[in-house]
Structure 1
Amino acid sequence: MTLAILCSGQGRQHREMFALTGDAPEAAYLFAYATTLLGGKDPREFVRDEPDEALHRNRAGQILCTLQPLAAASALGDVVPRGFIIAGYSVGEVAAWGVGGLFDAIATLDQVARRAEAMDAATQAGDGLIFVRGLSPDEVGRLCERHGAAIAIVNPGDAFVIGGDREVLGRIAADARAMRAARIVALPVEVASHTKRLAGASVVFRETLRLAPAVFPPRTGARILSGIDAAPVVSLETGLDKLAAQISHTVQWADCLQACVEAGATGFLELGPGHALSGMAAEIAPGVPARSLDDFRSLQGVRAWVARH
């Protein structure tokens, strides 16, 4: 039996995202450290008190969305079995390195803060992301080529995240509507993540990662997947190269989920925030149980579910 753990990306931050983990004594040190990264504001108060715009700013969003899986892993460490599979969506891939045991949790938060700063420095004003579902890969590729944008993430079921300048994305959205795309959504993200527009940030982040204390192979025995090709990390240097490159290369998320299935996943647990990844897992592998931390009312409920799957 193999558990697949999924670490969420930005976009699903919400007021109650720390409802299960916020009081876990095992995670107290992580909330204390994240407070220093958020200018002295406790993350639990940050998500409750700050305006939505603040929750979705790139740096704060990346820190919050990394803190949640790290806190969950700390609280659930007594029941998560060795040898799990783990994959992370966008910034969630850095969190996956922490949950999987390649980075310690504090170092993971530090790396995410540096990652966000490198991305912000490389971002052009007006950049962003949109989500498009219901067009073929060829159709989306032609739209991006025509308008000067790029596919940032490939999700299951002909669903794509596209990155570029907001005006360009608006024209792509208009064309996609004319082509009868099933769904088009502007995402609350202020950077064109996973496109060549952030090539400079990949270079800066790779230099940052050279100083990161990392352990390989991980003590957890986890199989960690790289987002840009869904391949397991088999060497530290190659893994770090891919982790940095992911900032400016397409994330093959559908392939990551398929790789989990092919590796024998008997259950998917998304550490949140949100339900997006567990929903995609259910879509790609309907016979495999898939849940998100946000589905549960208590950590004890999560522990019981993990014990079964």
Structure 2
Amino acid sequence: MNALALVFPGQGSQRIGMGRDFWAQVPEARRFFEKGSESLGIDLARLCFEGPDELLTLTANAQPAIMAVSMAAFAALQCEGVKFDYVAGHSLGEYSALVAAGSLAFEDAIRVVRKRGEFMQEAVVPGAGAMAAILGLDKESVYTVCGEAASHGVVEVANLNGPGQVVIAGETKAVEHAIELAKQRGAKRAVRLQVSAPFHCSLMGPAGKRLAAVLQAVPIADPLVPLVNNVDAEFLMSREEIAGSLVRQVTSPVRWEDVVRKLVKEGVTLFLELGPGKVLTGLIKRIAPEVTALYAEDLSSLQVAINQAKALF
């Protein structure tokens, strides 16, 4: 039996102009921009469509902006009556997945995401932390590299994105040392990422504590469809598990490769990425080449995906 999983991208997928045609042509999608703007007191449509880039890339702005576009794409998909079986999201995308699953109200989720971005930005002094992509090394070797570089400070595995694609995060000196060690071990590439903070490592501890306090006041319902979480690559089926998982996610690696493998094991044959870009689509194709992975970042790519979904199911 074929199953469809909706997946939602995280930070880094933002670009000026994202979501414009959803906003212009799908009234249900436009409502997400309007509700988000009202909830945050900022003009999300203008931020997404006009930037400027330095404003859009700020963590506290990028996260709610990406979420608004993801939910606009979701609204456009729902208008076509497409049924889905599972949801998952990469880091920030997990909040979009929870909205799609009926677990979080969009207005609550976008406010939490804005706070989460602020907390993560404020957890580490600018310049004190860094992230790097290590390409072409297996994850065991990257863990070893982090262990060896730890004499220079905190450096940890942050994202397990797919075969030979691992991201590390930590204190700048330690990350730079780990980059050199990775190259010595034969990494094809080991490069600093243009990010404003070292996400998904223990340096984000203060952000996790602040986020926990915010989540306590947010109504969370049991998801209507199963969600596979980042932290454990396991199904979250109850509201009690969700808040704790979201707090742990801030300081824990995103186990994206394991998330995809879990969904494939459950019978997912079609993955559809909703939101700006196609980063997850590319990763899924590398992790599980036997499945179909599509993206919907605008109305034309959404139509292609809907046609394929109808052909498969």
TM-score over 0.5 for the pair: yes
Deviations 1:16-71 (A, max 9, x none): 32144222210222212333566533x33323433333222111111112112111
Q: Does 2:69 correspond to 1:68?
A: yes
What residue is the counterpart of 1:252 in the other structure? Answer: 255
What residue is the counterpart of 2:134 in the other structure? Answer: 132
What residue is the counterpart of 2:165 in the other structure? Answer: 159
* 1:163 CA displacement: 0.6
Q: State the one-letter code of the partner of 2:96.
A: A
* The one of 32, 35, 43 aligned to 2:34: 32
CA distance in 2, matches of 1:49, 1:167: 36
Higher mean C-alpha deviation, range 165-174 or range 140-149: 165-174
Q: Percent identity?
A: 28
SS in 2 for 1:267: strand
SS in 1 for 2:179: helix
CA 263–81 in structure 1, closer or farther in 2 if over 3 Å, else same: farther
Deviations 1:77-130 (A, max 9, x none): 134554521111011111111111101222211111121122223223222321
* The one of 304, 310, 313 aligned to 1:307: 310
* 1:168 CA displacement: 2.7
Q: State the one-letter code of the partner of 2:288.
A: A
* 1:293 CA displacement: 1.1
Q: Does 2:174 correspond to 1:171?
A: no
SS in 2 for 1:251: coil
Q: Does 2:292 correspond to 1:289?
A: yes
Q: State the one-letter code of the partner of 1:31.
A: F
SS in 2 for 1:22: helix
> Are the equivalent residues in 1 in contact too, given 2:7–2:271 (CA < 8 A)?
yes
What residue is the counterpart of 2:51 in the other structure? Answer: 50
SS in 2 for 1:76: helix
Deviations 1:244-288 (A, max 9, x none): 110011111110000110111120101132111111111122121
What residue is the counterpart of 2:120 in the other structure? Answer: 119
* The one of 220, 227, 236 aligned to 1:214: 220
SS in 2 for 1:173: helix
CA 84–120 in structure 1, closer or farther in 2 if over 3 Å, else same: same
Q: Does 2:291 correspond to 1:274?
A: no
What residue is the counterpart of 1:184 in the other structure? Answer: 190
SS in 2 for 1:250: coil
* The one of 146, 163, 168 aligned to 2:148: 146
Q: State the one-letter code of the partner of 1:194.
A: H
Equivalenced residues, count: 305
Deviations 1:176-222 (A, max 9, x none): 2233312233223212111111112112212211211222142xxx1
Deviations 1:109-156 (A, max 9, x none): 111112112222322322232111111223211221222300011121
* 1:166 CA displacement: 2.8
CA 199–289 in structure 1, closer or farther in 2 if over 3 Å, else same: same
* 1:225 CA displacement: 0.9
What residue is the counterpart of 1:90 in the other structure? Answer: 91
Please report the RMSD computed on the Cα atoms of aligned residues, expressed in angstroms: 2.1
* The one of 213, 232, 244 aligned to 2:235: 232
CA distance in 1, matches of 2:135, 2:287: 15
Unaligned runs of 5+ in 1: none
Where does structure 1 differ by over 4 angstroms across 4 or more consecutive aligned residues?
36-39, 80-83
Q: State the one-letter code of the partner of 1:225.
A: V
Using the size of structure 1 for normalisation, the TM-score is: 0.91
CA distance in 1, matches of 2:272, 2:70: 11
CA distance in 2, matches of 1:51, 1:167: 31
Higher mean C-alpha deviation, range 281-290 or range 256-265: 281-290
> Are the equivalent residues in 2 in contact too, given 1:69–1:99 (CA < 8 A)?
no
Higher mean C-alpha deviation, range 298-307 or range 123-132: 298-307
> Are the equivalent residues in 2 in contact too, given 1:80–1:306 (CA < 8 A)?
no
> Are the equivalent residues in 1 in contact too, given 2:71–2:275 (CA < 8 A)?
no
> Are the equivalent residues in 2 in contact too, given 1:193–1:248 (CA < 8 A)?
yes
Unaligned runs of 5+ in 2: none
> Are the equivalent residues in 2 in contact too, given 1:20–1:299 (CA < 8 A)?
no
